[in-house]
C-alpha cells in the first residue's frame, strides 16, 4: 500500500522546518528539538541527515540560494518602454523579496555569526541581480534612453536599495504603507532621475 500524498522526504521536511524556525527565531534562538518537532521526527533523526546544527544551518542556506536572477526578465524588459520596464522590475523584485522573506530574515540576523556563508549568498543573489540590471542600464545608455553620466552599477544599487528599504519598512518594521504608491514613487524618481532628456 503506497501513500502518494505528502511525499516530501524526511530530509526536506527538516530543511523546511529549520528554514522557518531559523528565520523566525534566529540560529541560536532555535533548538534542534523544536526543529525536529516541527518536522515531526525525533530529535536524533535530524542528526542522521545533518552532521550538526551548524551543518543544518548551512544546508538550509544553500537550499535557498538558487534564486532566479533577473536574467530571464531582461529580454522582456527590452521590449517595453523604460518606465514600464522599471515598474515591472520593481514589482518583480518586491515580490521576490516577499517570497524569500525567510532567507532575508536569516541573512540579516546571522550576518555576524556566519559572515562567510551569508556574504556568499549575497554575492550569488543580490549582487547578481544588481549586476544584471546594471547591464540593462548600460544597454539603455547605448540606445540613448539613459543618461551617460550615471554610474550604472551604483544606480542599480540605488534602485534596489530604495525598493529593499520599502520591503524592510513594510515586512520587518510592520509599517502600514501603501505598497503600490511607495513603489510608484520610487519608480518615478528613478525614471525621472536617470532618463536622458532631449538636448542632453
Partner DNA sequence: GATGAATGAGGTTTCATTCAT
Partner DNA sequence: TATGAATGAAACCTCATTCAT
What's the alpha-carbon Rg for the chain, to the nearest Å?
A: 20
As given in the structure block, the three cell numbers for residue 196 are 536622458
Residues in contact with a second copy by CB under 8 A are 23-26, 28-29, 105, 108-113, 115, 119, 122, 127, 149-151, 154-155, 157-158, 160-166, 168-169, 172-175, 177, 181-182, 185-186, 188-194
* Interaction mask 49-88, DNA, x per CB under 7 A: --xxxx----------------------------------
Q: Choose the binding region for DNA from 48-56, 62-70, 111-119, 122-130 (rule: CB under 7 A).
A: 48-56
Least Å distance, CB 19 to DNA, is 15
Which has the closest alpha carbon to 137: 197, 79, 186, 195? Answer: 195
In the bound state with a second copy, the residue whose beta carbon lies nearer, of 12 and 192, is 192
Does 44 help bind DNA (rule: CB under 7 A)? yes
CA distance 101 to 97: 6
Site string for DNA, 4-43 (x = CB under 7 A): ------x-------------------xxxx-------xxx
Residues that bind DNA (CB under 7 A): 10, 30-33, 41-45, 47-48, 51-54
Amino acid at each position: 500500500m503506497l501513500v502518494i500524498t505528502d511525499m516530501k522526504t524526511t530530509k526536506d521536511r527538516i530543511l523546511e522546518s529549520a528554514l522557518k524556525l531559523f528565520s523566525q527565531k534566529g540560529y541560536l534562538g532555535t533548538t534542534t528539538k523544536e526543529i525536529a518537532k516541527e518536522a515531526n521526527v525525533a530529535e536524533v533523526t535530524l542528526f542522521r541527515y545533518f552532521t550538526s546544527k551548524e551543518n543544518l544551518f548551512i544546508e538550509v542556506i544553500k537550499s535557498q540560494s538558487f534564486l532566479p536572477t533577473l536574467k530571464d526578465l531582461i529580454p522582456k524588459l527590452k521590449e517595453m518602454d523604460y518606465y514600464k520596464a522599471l515598474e515591472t522590475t520593481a514589482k518583480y523584485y518586491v515580490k521576490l523579496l516577499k517570497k524569500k522573506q525567510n532567507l532575508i530574515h536569516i541573512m540579516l540576523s546571522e550576518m555576524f555569526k556566519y559572515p562567510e556563508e551569508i556574504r556568499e549568498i549575497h554575492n550569488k543573489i543580490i549582487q547578481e541581480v544588481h549586476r544584471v540590471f546594471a547591464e540593462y542600464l548600460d544597454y539603455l545608455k547605448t540606445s540613448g534612453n539613459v543618461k551617460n553620466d550615471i554610474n550604472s552599477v551604483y544606480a542599480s544599487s540605488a534602485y534596489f536599495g530604495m525598493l529593499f528599504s520599502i520591503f524592510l519598512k513594510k515586512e520587518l518594521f510592520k509599517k502600514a504603507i501603501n505598497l503600490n504608491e511607495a513603489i510608484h514613487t520610487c519608480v518615478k524618481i528613478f525614471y525621472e532621475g536617470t532618463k536622458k532628456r532631449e538636448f542632453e
